Structure 1
Amino acid sequence: MLELSEYKTILDTIPAAVIIAVPVKQDEKITDFSIVYVNECFRNLTKNFIKEGVLFSSFKEKISQDINWFDMAVETIKTKKTIEETFYSHNFSIWIQLVEKCVPGDYVAVSLTNVSQAKEYESALSEQNKKLEEVTSQLKSSRLNLDSQLKNIQQLNEQLLFAAYHDSLTDLYNRSWLSTMMKVQIKETTEKNEKFGILLFDIDNMKDINDSRGHNAGDELLKQVATILKLMESKTVTATRFGGDEFVLLYKNIKDRDEAIEISKKALRFLNAEGIGISGGISIFPDDSKKTEDLLKFADMAKIEAKKNGKNNVACFHSLMQEKFLSKLNIETKMSKAMASRNFQLYYQPQFDAKTKELRGFEALLRWYDSDLGWISPEQFIPLAEETHLVVPLGDWVMTTALATIKEWEMKFSFNGIISVNISPVQFVQEDFIEKLFKKIEKSGIDKKHLEIEITEGVLIDNVEDTISKLNKIREQGVGLSLDDFGTGYSSLRYLQLLPLTTLKIDKSFVSNIAEKDGFEAKLTESIISLVSKMGLNTIAEGVENEEQLKMIQKFNCRTIQGFLLGKPMPKEQCEKLLVENLGKTSS
């Protein structure tokens, strides 16, 4: 399945500027629209002053005072019809085509396309027509002169028409031609009760080619692809350059999806024979959609799926791709609102000494309950929060809340354990992360030894030296450092020597099969615990759920356990009962 980041990549790579907005209502009446997504092209077109959370009413005049965005958006929601307007923006000195349409869930999709070039072609053609009228008026005086001028005009019109519908680099038909032809094809195919399909593909690793060999080499590769595609053209197959390194093959009068797949794989074989890898997506009219823009969008979704499955392949669109995209978009929208409404909660999962079962402390875990969707798994919303960078303010809230809990427990229970707080790699790389963290700690007034920062191997991806420097600063403050999910990624023993860790957490994937006889996980886990313990680090086994696993963990001399066997994640109030039981303290 496609991830949201991949669907956003689709919208970020198309040349049209796109935003998605939701109605703002008061007393069931729409009063405005709030933007929930802005693609890269829109940010570039509008010089990045339009962002998520901005209302229509606050920016419409910055593009054009002649277009009523609000009324158009209300109308498209009401009628479910697509509304188009073309206008000249004096602010940006370009002609813009504005398209507003309603998408499932009463979202409004707004796209802006720079059509200045088309207007220029239209103006040029109009100018030539004026010349034609002038030449016609001179017919009586000079027939020979008229014939000569008519010939020149015809040639110029042909050149303009060719330029309007062909790509200048490859001489293939361009995107404008494809858009026009697909509309014609939809009409003809509907009348004849036939099908047609498209293959939208791009060249694998094109960026690497441009970076390593230069853009001239990239242009030569594009022309080579075009030459191969021209060999495939026939009465029913037409090649176009869609833009950048993207191409589209249009298949007319096909029988079914299998025929489209067969033609697409033929194109793949032709290109592979010349050492060119591609990833492509297929969509079919009318099976997948009856609209041009949807067919292109769905083919692009399928293309991303092909890339996800290893590149150099073609994939067919299916409805689950769109459903997953809309579902994630819904969660992302709700997450923004939940941040504003503070609907997130912190739960705490206890950690115990493996042998004495004495309470070591807790791991702070983020939880989210939505009135419509119920409990939303962290595996769903945390990756989305990282993609959208909402994890930064969300992580700030988690840290502030956890520090307040530590201070409260120090006062009420003479708390001497730790609370471990997870830090996302996205948070960690922020330039002001260390400064903000230290300010929060100082403001909270906690004993620093009661805080443990928990990181994953993801923080080591980009800049190991910077990571080690930051971690050393944290450790110098007396704050503990824990490495989570050890053994599941790309870390090495070298990192264990370089990082100033105090604790290493063994991933639950090892613990789950640790009780199997002669199991590989058991041998590997024992080796890890033995080695890490000799390095002076505390070890925590995650996901301990039964007595058999606990016995093996105790046998391997793992110091600490965490899992459902002794304690599930729980609200702060339940943790306080556990503190009373384990510490023999009562609340004041």
Structure 2
Amino acid sequence: MLDLKIYEDIASFTSEGLLVAKPRYTEKNEIYDFEPVYINQAYEKLTQNKIHIDHVLSKSLGFLSESLDWIKLGVQAFETDLYYEKSFFSQNLNSWFFVSIKKLPSDLLLINLHDINKDKELEQQLRRQNLRLAALSEELVLSRQDLHNKLEKIQSLNSSLEHLAFHDPLTDLPNRSYFNEIINNILLNAQNINTKVALMFIDIDDLKDINDSQGHNFGDTILKLAGNQLKHFEKDDIQVFRFGGDEFLVLMTNVQSHNSVVTITDTILEALNIINIPVSAGISIYPDDAKSTDELLKFADMAMYQVKASGKNSSIFFEQLMHQKLLERLTLEEKIGEAIKNNCFQLYFQPQYDICSKSLRGFEALLRWHDKDLGWIQPDLFIPVAEDTKLIIPIGLWVIEKTFQTLEKWQKNYDFKGIISINVSPVQLKDPNFVFEVEALLNKYTITPKLLEIEITEGILIDNTEQTI
């Protein structure tokens, strides 16, 4: 029989890390820790000499992995005679290991540590090379069973890649790509069997403001909660998608009636409101409203924006009048761009009288616009469109400069000492360049700044007090 010294000599030549420890007992004969009695050279090398013979396991093995309860595993090995195996990544050593823990017949604990970094590298290589496997398969000399095992791994990886390609990583819902992949066939099938398809376009209200004020992590939490709530509605004839950003889609097939869509829509909004997630939703129906995929999506989106404009946190079905309004709006957007380019806007100065003193207080600069095709266009029609498209920023800057030019002329020629007030859009006021642009114009024109009065709406103060101040 070999003595202990010979066993130690043999163990010193193995590449596997070996640690042998004896249990420490409490007064009640319960194991509370383990004391190393032997550590081979390979173990010291693998752990970079961070664990020594005089360290109890509770104070040393945590260095390898804080996620493993080493003492608990050791006690289980003693009590059950079963062994434990696991691979893990050590943050402190920046290395992958495979560990087995078992009880020896001599009432000692054996911890066997393997360096599996090369195995992990091979794993990664296999994943990168699976696309080339078909071309290389004839060159591989493998047994039938070995080839079968590798093909199973490839199929598993391909399934994972396909899932990633067609699912949103945040909510794990099917994504825009998957919607685009299936929607044409769904509409074609509906046409063939003479059924209807409804699309609900959902947008979480004010998520951008939440991201700006609470941070994107908080916003992501809201998206996850919304996604989880919407998943509860999935079944054979209802599919849910995360379309992107703060937008979700609910696709309903085999629609039997308008009322059934109303019921589902109301139930979804109620479920989201229960968890304090208000949304705006627009619904379009194929083939009643839309005749194609593009129209189905566009009309649902259009209806959703109608809800946004009407106060949010509700739903509405698409109507053809919305399409007509959209076309009119697009025309107006194009006309505003042309008006800026061709200098078609005009500035009028409306007198302001002080009722108490019955004297002229000053003038208010008013923006007016005459289009050769549309005639005179009211400010309450084109200003909101200009604000939505941010075209109000160059328009507003033009108004300010024209006002400064006029004030300079009046002061020089007429010794004008009255007030000129200018209306500034909240959109322009939020522009980070606004202050610098006004300052540059003040330096450009010889005017008295205290004669200028900038008027803003109360809404800008309510909207974002901190930013406005």
TM-score (norm. length: structure 1): 0.48
Find the aligned partners of 1:309 and 1:457 in 2 and give their Cα distance: 19
State the one-letter code of the partner of 2:420.
S
Residues 282 and 401 (structure 1 numbering): CA distance in 2 closer, same or farther, change over 3 Å?
A: same
Report how many residues are paired: 335
Q: Give the drift of 1:367.
A: 1.9
Residues 390 and 318 (structure 1 numbering): CA distance in 2 closer, same or farther, change over 3 Å?
A: farther
Find the aligned partners of 2:468 and 2:315 in 1 and give their Cα distance: 40
Is the CA contact (8 Å cut-off) linking 1:278 and 1:312 kept in structure 2? yes
Find the aligned partners of 2:439 and 2:212 in 1 and give their Cα distance: 36
Q: Alignment identity in percent?
A: 37
Where structure 2 has 5 or more consecutive residues not aligned to the other structure, the ranges are 1-125
Q: Residue in 1 aligned with 2:242?
A: 241
Residues 242 and 125 (structure 1 numbering): CA distance in 2 closer, same or farther, change over 3 Å?
A: farther
Find the aligned partners of 1:232 and 1:391 in 2 and give their Cα distance: 47
Q: CA offsets per residue over residues 341-370 of structure 1, 9 Å max, x none?
A: 232223343456769987666544322111
Indicate yes or no: 2:205 matched with 1:201.
Answer: no
Indicate yes or no: 2:436 matched with 1:432.
Answer: yes
Residues 385 and 313 (structure 1 numbering): CA distance in 2 closer, same or farther, change over 3 Å?
A: closer
Q: Residue in 2 aligned with 1:402?
A: 406
Residues 374 and 419 (structure 1 numbering): CA distance in 2 closer, same or farther, change over 3 Å?
A: farther
Of residues 124, 131, 142, the one that matches 2:133 is 131
State the one-letter code of the partner of 2:453.
I
State the one-letter code of the partner of 2:243.
F
Is the CA contact (8 Å cut-off) linking 1:264 and 1:314 kept in structure 2? yes
Find the aligned partners of 2:180 and 2:361 in 1 and give their Cα distance: 64
Of residues 393, 396, 412, the one that matches 2:397 is 393
Find the aligned partners of 2:220 and 2:310 in 1 and give their Cα distance: 27
Q: Residue in 2 aligned with 1:513?
A: none
Q: Give the drift of 1:225.
A: 3.5
Aligned 1:17-28 pairs, distance under 5 A = none
Aligned 1:317-466 pairs, distance under 5 A = 317-351=318-352, 362-386=363-387, 387-388=390-391, 389-403=393-407, 406=410, 410=414, 418=418, 420-425=420-425, 430-432=434-436, 435-439=439-443, 441-442=445-446, 453=453, 455-458=455-458, 461=461
Residues 219 and 431 (structure 1 numbering): CA distance in 2 closer, same or farther, change over 3 Å?
A: closer
Is the CA contact (8 Å cut-off) linking 1:425 and 1:458 kept in structure 2? no
Find the aligned partners of 1:284 and 1:249 in 2 and give their Cα distance: 12
Indicate yes or no: 2:269 matched with 1:299.
Answer: no
Find the aligned partners of 2:233 and 2:144 in 1 and give their Cα distance: 46
Aligned 1:504-583 pairs, distance under 5 A = none
State the one-letter code of the partner of 1:131.
L
State the one-letter code of the partner of 2:455.
I
Q: Secondary structure at the match of 1:235?
A: coil
Is the CA contact (8 Å cut-off) linking 1:425 and 1:459 kept in structure 2? no
Find the aligned partners of 2:332 and 2:452 in 1 and give their Cα distance: 30
Aligned-pair RMSD on alpha carbons? 4.0
State the one-letter code of the partner of 1:338.
A
Q: Give the drift of 1:418.
A: 4.1
TM-score (norm. length: structure 2): 0.59
Larger radius of gyration: 2
Aligned 1:178-257 pairs, distance under 5 A = 178-204=179-205, 206=207, 218-257=219-258
Q: Secondary structure at the match of 2:435?
A: coil
Q: CA offsets per residue over residues 105-160 of structure 1, 9 Å max, x none?
A: xxxxxxxxxxxxxxxxxxx9996464235436769x74333333332222222222
Find the aligned partners of 1:213 and 1:358 in 2 and give their Cα distance: 50
Q: Residue in 2 aligned with 1:269?
A: 270
Is the CA contact (8 Å cut-off) linking 1:175 and 1:242 kept in structure 2? yes
Residues 401 and 176 (structure 1 numbering): CA distance in 2 closer, same or farther, change over 3 Å?
A: same
Find the aligned partners of 2:399 and 2:251 in 1 and give their Cα distance: 48
Q: CA offsets per residue over residues 419-452 of structure 1, 9 Å max, x none?
A: 7342415566722355345445517xxxx59955
Q: Give the drift of 1:202.
A: 3.5
Q: Give the drift of 1:315.
A: 2.0
Aligned 1:63-82 pairs, distance under 5 A = none
Where structure 1 has 5 or more consecutive residues not aligned to the other structure, the ranges are 1-123, 468-588
State the one-letter code of the partner of 2:402.
V
Residues 401 and 265 (structure 1 numbering): CA distance in 2 closer, same or farther, change over 3 Å?
A: same
Find the aligned partners of 1:130 and 1:355 in 2 and give their Cα distance: 88
Q: Give the drift of 1:195.
A: 1.8
Find the aligned partners of 1:172 and 1:154 in 2 and give their Cα distance: 22
Q: Secondary structure at the match of 1:390?
A: helix
Q: CA offsets per residue over residues 232-272 of structure 1, 9 Å max, x none?
A: 22211112222344321110121344432221112223333
Find the aligned partners of 1:353 and 1:218 in 2 and give their Cα distance: 50
Greater relative contact order, per chain length (Cα 8 Å cut-off, separation 6+): 1
Q: Residue in 2 aligned with 1:150?
A: 151
Q: CA offsets per residue over residues 442-465 of structure 1, 9 Å max, x none?
A: 17xxxx599553524459736799
Q: Secondary structure at the match of 1:171?
A: coil
Q: Residue in 2 aligned with 1:95?
A: none
Is the CA contact (8 Å cut-off) linking 2:200 and 2:249 kept in structure 1? yes
